[in-house]
Structure 1
Amino acid sequence: MEARRRQLYNKYSYVEGHEADPKMRELEERQRRNEILAVDREVERYKEEARITRRRGGGAELPLGRRLLQGFFAPLTSAIRLEQEHVRLKVRGVDRSNYGPFLLMLNPDKLAVITLHTVISQLMKGEQMFGEPNEAQAGMCKFVRAVEMLGQSVQAEVNLARLRQRARLTKKRYLESKNGPHVHDRFMKVNMESLKTLTTVRGVARLARTALNDSDWGGVTRSKVGAALVKLLLTTARIRVPGPDGELIEVPAFYHDYVKHKAHRYGVISWHDAFFTFMDDEAMIRATLSPVRYMPMVTPPRPWTRFNAGGYLRTESIVMRGHYTTHGPSKRQMLALHGEQSGAELDGRAAKFQPVLDALNVLGRTAWRINEDVLRVMEEVWATGGGRADVPPRENVPDPTWPANPYGLRRSRGQLAATALPSRQDVAGFIHSLNRTKQRNRELHSQRCDFLIKLQVAKEMRDEDRIYFPHNIDFRGRAYTMHVHLNHLGSDICRGALVFADARPLGNDGLDWLYIQAANLYAGGVDKLPMDERRQWIEDRVHLLEQSARDPLGPDGGFWLDAEDPWQCLACCFEIERARASGDPPAYMCRLPVHQDGSCNGLQHYAALGRDEAGGEQVNLMPRDRPGDVYTGIANVLKRIVAEDAKNPEDPETQALAIALAPHVDRKLVKQTVMTSVYGVTHIGARQQIQNRLKERGAVEDENLRYKMANYAARRTLDALANLFVNARDVMAWLAECARVVCSQGRAVEWTTPLGLPVVQPYRVKSQRMIRTLVQSFTLQFDNDENSVAKAKQRSAFPPNFIHSIDSAHMMKTALACHEAGLTFAGVHDSFWTHAGDVPEMSRHIREKFIELHSEPLLEMLYEELKEKYPEVAHEIPPPPPMGNMDIEQVKDSIYFFS
């Protein structure tokens, strides 16, 4: 197995002979320092700024944001030092026994930096207001979330300190026991074995004790450690603001309060409103990034050689994201991974899920760089006020003015009196407008924070020749980047800021694929045209693209601003302009990723599983002259159903609703419902989605009527889906019934993906525990494998989770095939990327791997596996539904399957 791991290192991580490459060794060392010393460097920065302040008698030389943070750091460090002294002396008055020992594990200055940056990061992310369908609002977060995240950050630093201490002890013991030549080589070998032992020797039990929830670092302890540090921050952090008379006064920078929602009361932490003036300060943005270690890497990631060894170079990681909490891997799933890994190593074979690890290694070794041209335009848009191309405006929406009312007369008790007061209706309208403005401005603050964090990461990485994104998976096997702030899985802003690090020639067809890419990104219906028409549409407007590339923000460069994905469209404009200007487009070396996206990919897999010919045609599994659009197809079916209801006088209420709804039925109305139908959307969820669409377009003012129309439309939309995807709906119903039978025995649903990954649905009834802290009491919910399963959730989640495990297998099979063919590959669930000149070859692999995947009897295999895993209910598990007549081989000739 050691030879297998070394083979993976050579295949997926480092270039051959990297040990002798001084530049590679330097990059590796820098990456290790970035991961290990993030907090230490931030502490040194604060100390250096404190020395500057003392030496010069003030901090005026510091940037505004750094000055503010520096003012928090020193008092907080002193308060933590005092608290640690109280822990050591066992000072009476406060029970510190359950959190005190953990506060002693780090120096006060480190704890201060972690506290400041974690709390500010959570406040910048904001909180979505308790179930309301609005955006997160910066400046406030739930107390329980803040203390949990802070506890996790402290725990991570403690674990890293322990790892560093073990490495130092290993080196010391080795050097004490061995002398002579080649000491360094022997030390490196011993140290690697030591690190391997740390992450493998005791399997999941060891991991649970050192890194997850089973240890003395459980959720309760993390919360109490976090609460103690938050309490110190609340009492020490002060900010100077203008008082009522205009003079500066000191007030708390952070507040703890309660917010009521329905019958519940939630504790929240908020910052002072004055913080909003610091949001575009670079120091404040850095406070959300540093000391975050999960930044893009400057070297290839450590290959995943087993389920708990890979990713970042100096971080103990598990391939499955989550911490045994909601929607993370259950302990049973981790034990299944560990059991399979251990058995494979004893037998001298690769683990059954090794293809999953191999695919993650392919995704992680794809090298990226920052798109400097796009980044410069982003900076200019922000510097000139924002408000364009999804960049939030820098200015808030102004408050409404108090309603002016001319002097008039009113009658009071039979007497006429002069008045200048606005009417009660005007005042009510003003208050309503004021509240909406405040909510909108809070949303804008959150959008600015999100944009500026991404912008800051791009600026920090702009000088790197190559950056990498290590990947891991969720419990279903779907791949994600371990870095969260700027990656190709993110928004249009993120994707526009990234290009492949390696350039490849366009070749004969590459420029055409850039044209098609530009059309797809422009959208607005252009992306629904046949391929030749998309290409021609862009070619007819290529002068507009070239003007956009030459002067993106000039009067003639606005083509890209009208695109649905403006920043990716701008990146395409730059590349097309350069390719054409080169004089030899086929030889032009291009870095831009070109996408091939599935057509409602979840329904594609359902249709393939059920061999649903009619449904498969709608989602482009069958060859067509023009691309099929399932959303338009469902909208057309819904129109026919509504028209029939409108002509039916036997049910007057339904007839009235059909007549009212008919003018509003279109593609956009049903798109979200159709898209989420694959993921088990309920009637209630569908109704809310359609209700939101009707509200957005101002279709119906009467809220009661809008609710009834949405209720009717949701029912009929789900009927239209059932009519159009008969076999696919049968598959969905069968999966749900299987889950119901399994859960009837109090068991969680388990299955194995086509790539050998064991999956266990983690949904169980949560345990609750009342936690009393120095700030407030709250109920902590946590997962427990001993708790009873959440039957309704297990049943409703199984169909979409099974489909996700299938689509992840398709993506990973395609990734491995592209890697073997020498192509650069990136995957975003159902969107596959490569160089423009390599799109035809990637497209071939996409289709071949889909056919290969669905040529296996996946439903029969699942049926047999469920009967074997649950023998006590095997007789109750129904056989798979009969399949339709679709020929899966036809996918090979379908142009619009992925396009």
Structure 2
Amino acid sequence: MSALRWGHGASGLRRALWPAGRPGPMAEEGAFSAVWGSRRSSSARPCEQDRWKDWGHAELLEVLEARVRQLQAEGVSEVTVKRAGMARRLPASGGFQPPGKARTGPKGPAADLGDLWAQKLNKEKSAMQKRKLRLEGKLQLQAEDLGCEHELRVVPRLLDAQLAGCLQHWKHGTPQSLQEGQLAQLLQEAPRRPSPEAKPAREARGADMRLEIQQQKLLAFLECCLLTGHLPLAHHVLVTQHSRARQRRRLTLAMYNTVMLGWARKGSFKELVYVFFMVKDAGLTPDLLSYAAALQCLGRLDQNTSTIQRCLDQMARDGLQPQELFSGVPLSPEEQAMVLRAMRKAQPTFSPPPLPPRPPPQVNTSPLLREIYAKGGPVSYPKSHLPLRELQSLFRQQLRVEMATTVAVESVEQARVLTEEVLRARNTLQQLRAEWVEALCLGLRNLKASEGRAARAGRPTVFPFLCVLPEKELAELLLQTLQVLPPQGESLLSLAQQLGVRVFSRHAVRRQRLSSRVRALQERYHQYVRLLASDTPVEVPRLPRQYWEALGPPEAPHEQPWPLSVLVQLGKKLAEMLVEAVRMPGSVAAPQGPCTLIPVLYHVYSFRSFRQIGILKPHPAFIELLATAAEHTLTFEAAEVPMLCPPLPWTSPHTGAFLLSPTKLMRSLEGTVQHQRLLDSCPPADLHGALDALTQLGNCAWRVNGRVLDLVLELFAAKGCPRLGVPAPASEAPRPPEGRLPPGASPAQKAEVRRELARCLKVAREMHSLRSDALYRLSLAQHLRHRVFWLPHNMDFRGRTYPCPPHFHHLGSDLARALLEFAQGRPLGARGLDWLKVHLVNLTGLKKRESLRARLAFADEVMEDILDSADQPMTGRKWWMDVDEPWQALACCMEIARAVRSPDPAAYVSHFPVHQDGSCNGLQHYAALGRDSVGAASVNLLPSDVPQDVYSGVAAQVEAFRKQDARRGVRVAQVLEGFISRKVVKQTVMTVVYGVTRYGGRLQIERRLRELSDFPQEFVWEASHYLVRQVFNSLQEMFSGTRAIQHWLTESARLIAHTGSAVEWVTPLGIPIIQPYHQDAKVLIAGGMQSLTFSQSGDTSQKPNTLKQKNGFPPNFIHSLDSSHMMLTALHCYRKGLTFVSVHDCFWTHAADVEVMNQVCREQFVSLHSQPILHNLSRFLVKRYCSSPRSPKHSKNLWMGKLQDTLKSVPKTGALDLEQVKRSTYFFS
């Protein structure tokens, strides 16, 4: 046991540790207790100053508690600090007075003074609690500022060899007590003290970040001014910013060019020249776009030739050629004509360079994709089951939906009886909404006037962004947002961001609607669907992307997204206006007459994870009115609903998926731009594999399984069935305790009531969220019940694919998957029925360790139960309800019943998707990377008669280690006899591939042990430490290459992050990846009802987050490999004419095609891992991070040398023969 002592010195707070004598009483579990040492020197009696010093110690302890919580939030440690009383040195004896004990002795003035002091302490206790909450919030909001020299960090100072020996012992063995273990954990995972030069570097990064945000906001403001017809305002703001020396540094050439282009389009030469001279005055050099604006303006005017010639002479002095104006500048055809007109006034013989011949389509040369893009060879691309006319009609329907921007869907919530009360409530709501639209329009006009005045003062505001949509459309958008606010409210920050994003999306769609793009899109799409239609032959088989590109030139990129700071600021202004403008009578049921109007929304503060946040909460009277009216119409954004026609093929990082709604190829948090920049700089051909795979996944047509939907709706209307995954309404949540506590209730009783109240509120919130999610999914399913629909896909930064519509898709729960089936059916064929039976047994989870033959035999044994489930799902034996995936099992029972009862099961046309799952897919990739034969056998990379279970194998290995230790007399090994099972180790084994640490693994095992009622709980901590060590040892033996590869990836990422860079790599299919983990950048938006501070963890101007970079690299790299395997399988299945979709490492196809898909899946896994993946990664990282020359004397270059050595030290591999994977039955099964 160790003790702690806090000392004061010139450098501020510091910590010293030394061994104490006998350990004190055992602290509570999860706490870190200590004995306080004596203060430096004081033999004088206590005085007021000493008392305040003691309170200073207490305040520092409060800071430490908050800091440890912050370390927990950052994933650094999970040690808590137990609140300890301050021990006092008595002036006479020099002993310690135990905290909380009164001094005994004769009563008198001294005793009275002590009583007063105790009263004062009690009085200040409440104030200290409030200060503690404020301090904890400040620590989290200003985490970056805590990195300076005043930051309180847990930094050990080893004062003697004895303590160093203790830490060395803890490093190799288990601590002997709870306190020692927590102390060891805290010391090992505490962050390092920042270097002296860290503060200036951080301040410089902060200044750069603020400058970049200001530049983004100003450029977006100027561009939006041009779009909304407020060019004079843009000019005025630019001139004002230019005239102020401190603000001029934020101006860029793009800003001047934006305003010059605006004047050029209006033919205002005088104003354009004024801006042109500002460019020179700012010390910038005009570029091609600057001169294109000037010549365009001159072409619109009858200027003399000398003016144009002077412009051309200046252009030549700047080293620019006139011919470049027609190839290197993004101008419309009309603008190019004006430039040419001006040129020919000065040089009548001038001719623009001829348009270069259209380059031949680029071809991806990756060896993995060579067969996909090879000319010739047998190709059987699938066709849709719909004819050309129907596909063209569906396109027009989808176009109307996206132009309307929203979709109204009937809710499946049980409709209320239309009583007089319901009708009155609906009529009231209708009247209120009409009044609210008028009030919001008035509020918008006032807000525009206010923001316009501020803009005319010379600073960018949200004024032009408020003008991008008509007032009525913007008011209706705000009312739609109000309609879906949850009863518990929404944080102002979240709501502001949602509003800003919705305004931008509507603006982007409106811009396209008002341009000529819609007509061009319609003509091109009508030609494109000839490739897909069932009744139009295609002479030369092509992929959808290739066919689309052949129909015309590349499309212009969509609208540039607004910066996150603009989105939040705009949304905040709109939310504040919504609070101010929308009011209702205090009691809508009151008789007619004068009544008080109350706000529909009110602003409150609440604490979440020790942070105080502002919440906009609907008034209970409004919630009651909505509940009484019971309107059953839900409104969704067009991009939140599946498409009614095949999506646009992905042809670039900017174009694909929805017809008009802007969609990112690589989804990311708002404000994270590095992924898009990386994709834009990537050679187009390198992305072809990912683009074509995403297009293929999106081209799969779906339909709703009506029989399953009917049963789910029946349960949903009957207040749900949580056992089957149908959420109950929030009205079924446990009620909070009623009544008041008696006046003499103890603090423990009060605390218990508060805990129970918090638990009830938490359960109610969770139930409301689950019910709403199910309501959206089921309402959309009912809306699309008799339709064919499509799910466009995009990917995350690792390359993993996801459907774009968020509410209704096949990546959801068991219930969500059971509602979907393929719209295009295929006959079962000779083996299709057998695969349906095997799939059903897989869904039950009853025969995981059995062979396919045994699973098929089991399906035949329970055929009576299968048919009973299909015929009488709610009234029969209900066999399907007791399996792992009940709804999918029920859907499969129904499909099997229809097939076996058909005249010819082989000819039965099945729409049911059959799944094949990878066997612990992450470990499969690790075993293949390391050519690890033992590990490969454990995860079914090698042929076997029955499937191998890696979790049972690890449990058996751990049990073998335990028996050895038990024989040697290890107490914890003896206690664990009979308690080591598959369930105890499964979660840790699963998450090892995702970079779980020993500490995280210990917590997982601790939770499993606590679930065992007969396990002695006093041994949980020690047993979990023992087991996690043995699990890692077992994995080390079973997967000898896995841990070495993980360590190499982690260490490489750590060193890369220390050089100030984020980790980048390229997937085997050519997708560029960058990890978006940086130190949080705090952005403040002040003013209004509340100042907002939000964090941007993906800001590249900030230092990389070393912990997240190193912990994230191994799992993210493996995810990029499993996505590459999936994409290769998708492309080759498409080439063979199969329908294919996936849920990451779970592949779906028709029952008749399972064997073909299995063959493709195995072939592509072998093909992928036949590439030198780790050596290619090593070469890329060395080239990316170690190519600059370095001097051996510089400390940073010493890091670079270590980094280069590490990156080149690729782990050695074993002798696994990958070709055996092709013969493994249970690789995917």
Q: TM-score, normalised by structure 1?
A: 0.81
Q: Structure 2: which amino acid aligns with 1:33? A: R
The aligned counterpart of 2:900 is 580
SS for the counterpart of 1:839 is helix
Q: Distance in 1 between matches of 2:851 and 2:425?
A: 54
Q: Distance in 1 between matches of 2:873 and 2:1104?
A: 55
Q: In the alignment, is the contact (CA less than 8 A) between 1:142 and 1:266 conserved in 2?
A: yes
Following TM superposition, by how much is the alpha carbon of 1:102 offset from its aligned partner in structure 2, in angstroms? 1.6
Q: In the alignment, is the contact (CA less than 8 A) between 1:34 and 1:293 conserved in 2?
A: no
Say whether 1:748 aligns with 2:1062. yes
Say whether 1:112 aligns with 2:470. no
Q: Distance in 2 between matches of 1:366 and 1:498?
A: 12
The aligned counterpart of 2:862 is 541
Q: Distance in 2 between matches of 1:697 and 1:74?
A: 60
Task: Give CA deviations for 1:760-785 in whole Å, capped at 9, x if unaligned.
Answer: 22222232221114221122222332
SS for the counterpart of 2:848 is helix
Task: Give CA deviations for 1:103-141 in whole Å, capped at 9, x if unaligned.
Answer: 2222233223323334555x45xxxxxxxxxxxxx7343
The aligned counterpart of 2:1126 is 811
Change (3 A) 1:544 1:275: farther
Following TM superposition, by how much is the alpha carbon of 1:15 offset from its aligned partner in structure 2, in angstroms? 6.0
Q: Structure 2: which amino acid aligns with 1:152? A: V
Following TM superposition, by how much is the alpha carbon of 1:756 offset from its aligned partner in structure 2, in angstroms? 1.3
Q: Distance in 2 between matches of 1:281 and 1:579?
A: 47
Change (3 A) 1:634 1:112: farther
Change (3 A) 1:312 1:841: same
Q: In the alignment, is the contact (CA less than 8 A) between 1:12 and 1:361 conserved in 2?
A: no
Task: Give CA deviations for 1:552-584 in whole Å, capped at 9, x if unaligned.
Answer: 111x14112112111111110110110111132
Say whether 1:390 aligns with 2:725. yes
Following TM superposition, by how much is the alpha carbon of 1:747 offset from its aligned partner in structure 2, in angstroms? 2.1
Change (3 A) 1:42 1:401: closer
The aligned counterpart of 1:268 is 615
Q: In the alignment, is the contact (CA less than 8 A) between 1:285 and 1:452 conserved in 2?
A: no
Q: Distance in 2 between matches of 1:640 and 1:876?
A: 35
Which of these residues, 556, 576, 579, is aligned with residue 198 of structure 1? 556
Task: Give CA deviations for 1:266-308 in whole Å, capped at 9, x if unaligned.
Answer: 2233345677779999977754x52342311111110112222
Q: Distance in 1 between matches of 2:382 and 2:630?
A: 34
Q: Distance in 2 between matches of 1:244 and 1:695?
A: 53
Moved more, 781-790 or 371-380: 781-790
Change (3 A) 1:402 1:774: closer
Say whether 1:793 aligns with 2:1089. no
Following TM superposition, by how much is the alpha carbon of 1:743 offset from its aligned partner in structure 2, in angstroms? 2.7
Q: Distance in 2 between matches of 1:240 and 1:715?
A: 65
The aligned counterpart of 1:232 is 577
The aligned counterpart of 1:482 is 804
**In the comparison of the two structures, how many residue pairs are matched?**
803
The aligned counterpart of 1:178 is none
Change (3 A) 1:404 1:740: closer
The aligned counterpart of 2:661 is 315
Task: Give CA deviations for 1:229-268 in whole Å, capped at 9, x if unaligned.
Answer: 2223334445778899999997654332222245432223
Following TM superposition, by how much is the alpha carbon of 1:842 offset from its aligned partner in structure 2, in angstroms? 0.7
Which of these residues, 725, 729, 736, is aligned with residue 1050 of structure 2? 736
Following TM superposition, by how much is the alpha carbon of 1:381 offset from its aligned partner in structure 2, in angstroms? 1.0
The aligned counterpart of 1:375 is 709
1:342-361 to 2 correspondences below 5 Å: 351-361=685-695
Q: In the alignment, is the contact (CA less than 8 A) between 2:942 and 2:1220 conserved in 1?
A: yes
- Structure with the greater alpha carbon radius of gyration: 2
Say whether 1:447 aligns with 2:770. yes
Q: TM-score, normalised by structure 2?
A: 0.60
Moved more, 223-232 or 100-109: 100-109
Following TM superposition, by how much is the alpha carbon of 1:222 offset from its aligned partner in structure 2, in angstroms? 1.1
Change (3 A) 1:239 1:369: farther
Which of these residues, 507, 510, 514, is aligned with residue 832 of structure 2? 510
Following TM superposition, by how much is the alpha carbon of 1:891 offset from its aligned partner in structure 2, in angstroms? 0.7
The aligned counterpart of 1:347 is none
Which of these residues, 669, 677, 684, is aligned with residue 999 of structure 2? 684
Change (3 A) 1:734 1:227: same
1:551-630 to 2 correspondences below 5 Å: 551-554=872-875, 556-630=876-950
Following TM superposition, by how much is the alpha carbon of 1:165 offset from its aligned partner in structure 2, in angstroms? 2.3
SS for the counterpart of 1:157 is helix
Q: In the alignment, is the contact (CA less than 8 A) between 2:955 and 2:982 conserved in 1?
A: yes
The aligned counterpart of 2:491 is 142
Q: Distance in 2 between matches of 1:151 and 1:295?
A: 20
SS for the counterpart of 1:611 is coil
Task: Give CA deviations for 1:15-51 in whole Å, capped at 9, x if unaligned.
Answer: 6997xx4322221011111112134x779x9xxxxxx
Q: Distance in 2 between matches of 1:13 and 1:821?
A: 8
Q: Distance in 1 between matches of 2:827 and 2:843?
A: 22
SS for the counterpart of 2:469 is coil
Following TM superposition, by how much is the alpha carbon of 1:384 offset from its aligned partner in structure 2, in angstroms? 2.0
Q: In the alignment, is the contact (CA less than 8 A) between 2:508 and 2:661 conserved in 1?
A: no
Following TM superposition, by how much is the alpha carbon of 1:693 offset from its aligned partner in structure 2, in angstroms? 3.5
Q: Structure 1: which amino acid aligns with 2:682? A: E
Q: Distance in 1 between matches of 2:1066 and 2:930?
A: 19
The aligned counterpart of 2:1171 is 856
Which of these residues, 1136, 1144, 1166, is aligned with residue 821 of structure 1? 1136
Say whether 1:840 aligns with 2:1155. yes
Say whether 1:362 aligns with 2:716. no
Q: Distance in 2 between matches of 1:463 and 1:279?
A: 30
Following TM superposition, by how much is the alpha carbon of 1:502 offset from its aligned partner in structure 2, in angstroms? 0.8
Change (3 A) 1:852 1:568: same
Following TM superposition, by how much is the alpha carbon of 1:635 offset from its aligned partner in structure 2, in angstroms? 2.2
Task: Give CA deviations for 1:469-497 in whole Å, capped at 9, x if unaligned.
Answer: 11111112111111111111111111000
The aligned counterpart of 2:1224 is 894
The aligned counterpart of 2:82 is none
Q: Distance in 2 between matches of 1:738 and 1:79?
A: 55
Q: Distance in 2 between matches of 1:759 and 1:424?
A: 54
Q: Distance in 1 between matches of 2:1000 and 2:483?
A: 34
Q: In the alignment, is the contact (CA less than 8 A) between 1:738 and 1:878 conserved in 2?
A: no
SS for the counterpart of 1:224 is helix
Q: In the alignment, is the contact (CA less than 8 A) between 1:368 and 1:467 conserved in 2?
A: yes
Q: Distance in 2 between matches of 1:245 and 1:165?
A: 47
**Structure 2, unaligned runs of 5 or more:** 1-357, 364-371, 374-378, 411-419, 524-548, 1189-1199
Change (3 A) 1:111 1:403: closer
Following TM superposition, by how much is the alpha carbon of 1:586 offset from its aligned partner in structure 2, in angstroms? 1.1
Q: In the alignment, is the contact (CA less than 8 A) between 1:227 and 1:775 conserved in 2?
A: no
SS for the counterpart of 2:682 is helix
Which of these residues, 764, 773, 783, is aligned with residue 460 of structure 1? 783
Following TM superposition, by how much is the alpha carbon of 1:686 offset from its aligned partner in structure 2, in angstroms? 2.4
Change (3 A) 1:423 1:226: closer
Change (3 A) 1:17 1:505: closer
Moved more, 109-118 or 574-583: 109-118
Aligned-pair identity (%) = 35
Following TM superposition, by how much is the alpha carbon of 1:664 offset from its aligned partner in structure 2, in angstroms? 4.1
Q: In the alignment, is the contact (CA less than 8 A) between 1:365 and 1:468 conserved in 2?
A: yes
Q: In the alignment, is the contact (CA less than 8 A) between 2:586 and 2:596 conserved in 1?
A: yes
1:578-727 to 2 correspondences below 5 Å: 578-646=898-966, 648-649=968-969, 655-656=971-972, 658=973, 661-695=976-1010, 706=1020, 709-727=1023-1041
Q: Distance in 1 between matches of 2:1035 and 2:424?
A: 61
Change (3 A) 1:839 1:218: same
Following TM superposition, by how much is the alpha carbon of 1:841 offset from its aligned partner in structure 2, in angstroms? 0.9
The aligned counterpart of 1:52 is none
Following TM superposition, by how much is the alpha carbon of 1:335 offset from its aligned partner in structure 2, in angstroms? 3.3
Following TM superposition, by how much is the alpha carbon of 1:868 offset from its aligned partner in structure 2, in angstroms? 2.1
Q: Distance in 1 between matches of 2:1054 and 2:740?
A: 63
Say whether 1:297 aligns with 2:654. no
